[in-house]
Amino acid sequence: MTDITIPTQPEALSRRQPAVVPQPAARPRVVIVGAGFGGLRAARALRKAPVDVVLLDRHNYHLFQPLLYQVATAGLEPEQIARPVRAILRGQTNFAFRMVEVTGVDFAAREVATDNGPVPYDYLVLALGGETNYFGLEGIMRSGFGLKGVSDALAIRNHVLGCFERAVLEPDGERRRALLTFVVVGGGPTGVEMAGALSELIRLVLVKDYPRLNIKDVRVLLLEATDRLLAPMPERLREAAAETLWRKHVEVRFGAAVEDCDGARVRLKGGEVIPAHTLIWAAGAKAVALTAKLGLPTARQGRVAVTPTLQVPDHPEVYVIGDAAYLEAGGEPLPMMAPVALQMAQAAARNISRRLRGEPPLAFQYRDPGSLATIGRNAAVAYIHGIGVKGFVAWVTWLIVHIIQLIGFRNKLFVLINWAWDYFFYERAARLITKE
């Protein structure tokens, strides 16, 4: 009898085969810090790249900051201008999200430090954004209101509505007028939009809620340290914005630099004191404090100075984009605005893909889509590709642009319904005082 042994594998092959089946080579990991305009766009732009994308943020949502002032003035609820990151990027297979606080970066070890341990990276995109710049004015930091996140907007809403409730109960005329005096500081788009919306909330809506209060006791002031509003716009539009604000009962004052406030009084440089319980600070922005602690070269506003390809000098695997990045175009720093963050995100994602293919990175080129500012009902100014528009046409343009940019069909729909309701019925739905 012949013993026939049938080998399960040819000998030569079995000798070559290791005991453990090899895993496919791990793909490079791109860690993105910040799920704002820049970070979210970068994650999306890498959806087809041969990488794993890990997005880190301290919040589980993406916030549409340009409409925050409407939350502060009771026009919209926070969930109408924010959306969970996991829902936005649910369909992206190379994507993971972690809700963590980023506390630093170890560039040598290629690890992001977080409150939940280190996160290693092959490529890093820092899209940390900005924060309110109080220029070291401690009284304003303590007693004024900034407008950067959802909690700021709700704090303003609660405080303004609370001032009206307290004013109704206040027998002393002077104290009542101080409760009903609202000071907005900063004549940029946020200050202009905030002052216009606040005045309309009071004159069109709250006046009906508080019939026993004398509307003549109410003041909304917009204080600007220079001699102009909306500085980058042409003179004709700047003047139109100021005129419209006056028509909407906002007292616009130029050359008025605020120095201090204590929750009952606002003090200007030069000594003038305005009795006012509310100061909303829209006079400055800077990169988040973390950028200064990373050990990277920073420039104006604490922003990280990046190369034209958006990389960090000496760390070509690290990109900084959006408000946190400092880059000049035509001798001027790129503004801390959403289109800059979005376009930089696209460029950084493209440069990462190019590096993976062994191609050199391309320099970032900013295309300015123009600027818009609304001044309440039926009024706005727009400056797009050298063409200036004001009034109703600019206002409709503003509405369309903002609805298109909002993320999520549900948010678009609810915001549209809200705006239509407020427009036709002179209402503001979100007038609850949820905390004082």
Residue positions annotated with a catalytic role: 193
Using the rule CB under 6 A, which residue among 338, 379, 381, 415 binds ligand FAD?
Answer: 338
Distance between CA 69 and CA 73 in Å, rounded? 6
- Give the Cα separation of 343 and 368 in Å (integer): 10
98 Cβ contact list (under 8 Å, min separation 6) = 54, 55, 56, 114, 116, 119
Q: Do 63 and 82 meet the contact criterion of CB atoms below 8 Å apart?
A: yes
Please report, as residue ranges, which positions from 307 to 326 form the binding site for ligand FAD (by CB under 6 A): 322-324
Contacting residue, 202, 221, 241, 288, with ligand FAD by CB under 6 A: 288
| Residue from 27, 44, 59, 431 in contact with ligand FAD (CB under 6 A) | 59
Instruction: For the CB of residue 380, give the shortest distance to ligand FAD in the complex, in Å.
Output: 11
Interaction with ligand FAD in 72-101: which residues (CB under 6 A)? Answer: 101
Count residues binding ligand FAD (CB under 6 A).
34
**Nearest partner of 348 among 127, 131, 130, 128, judged by Cα:** 127
Q: What is the DSSP letter of 407?
A: S
Give, as ranges, the residues between 339 and 358 that touch ligand FAD (CB under 6 A): 339, 341
> Rounded CA gap, 377 and 399, in Å?
11
Q: Which member of 181, 190, 343, 351 binds ligand FAD (CB under 6 A)?
A: 190
Query: Which CB atom, from 206 or from 294, has the smaller least distance to ligand FAD?
Result: 294
SS3 state of residue 338: helix
Structural contact between residues 99 and 6, judged by C-beta atoms closer than 8 angstroms: no
Among 37, 319, 383, 398, binds ligand FAD (CB under 6 A): 37
Residue 302 makes contact with ligand FAD by CB under 6 A: no
Minimum distance from residue 371 beta carbon to ligand FAD (Å):
7
Name the packing angle between helices 338-356 and 37-45 (round to 10°): 30
User: What's the closest the beta carbon of residue 102 comes to ligand FAD, in angstroms?
Assistant: 4
Is 127 near ligand FAD (CB under 6 A)? yes
Q: How far apart are CA 433 and CA 151, in angstroms?
A: 13
Q: Looking up tokens 């002179």, which residue turns up?
A: 426
Distance CA 161, CA 167 (A): 10
Stretch that binds ligand FAD, among 62-70, 75-83, 226-234, 387-395 (CB under 6 A): 62-70
Q: Give the residue nearest to ligand FAD (CB).
A: 36
Q: Which of 30, 36, 196, 347 binds ligand FAD (CB under 6 A)?
A: 36
Candidates 43, 102, 242, 382: give the one binding ligand FAD (CB under 6 A): 102
Query: Quick check: 39 binds ligand FAD (CB under 6 A)?
Result: yes
CA dihedral angle for residue 317, residue 322, residue 326, residue 328, rounded to 10 degrees: 110
Residues in the chain, total: 436
Binding mask 147-176 for ligand FAD (x = CB under 6 A): xx----------------------------
Minimum CB distance to ligand FAD, residue 410 (Å): 20
* Alpha-carbon distance values, 84 to 36, 56, 57, 59, 68 (Å): 11, 13, 11, 9, 16
Q: How far apart are CA 432 and CA 207, in angstroms?
A: 16
Decide: 256 and 224 in contact? Cβ < 8 Å. yes
Nearest approach, Cβ of 302 to ligand FAD (angstroms)?
A: 13
Q: How far is the CB of 209 from ligand FAD (least distance, A)?
A: 25
State the amino acid at position 270 in one-letter form: G
* Contact positions with ligand FAD (CB under 6 A) in 374-413: none
Looking at the Cβ atoms of 161 and 348, the one nearer to ligand FAD is: 348
Strand-pairing partners, residue 33, are 56, 126
Binding stretches for ligand FAD (CB under 6 A)? 34-39, 56-59, 65-66, 68-69, 101-102, 127-130, 147-148, 189-190, 288, 290, 322-324, 336-339, 341
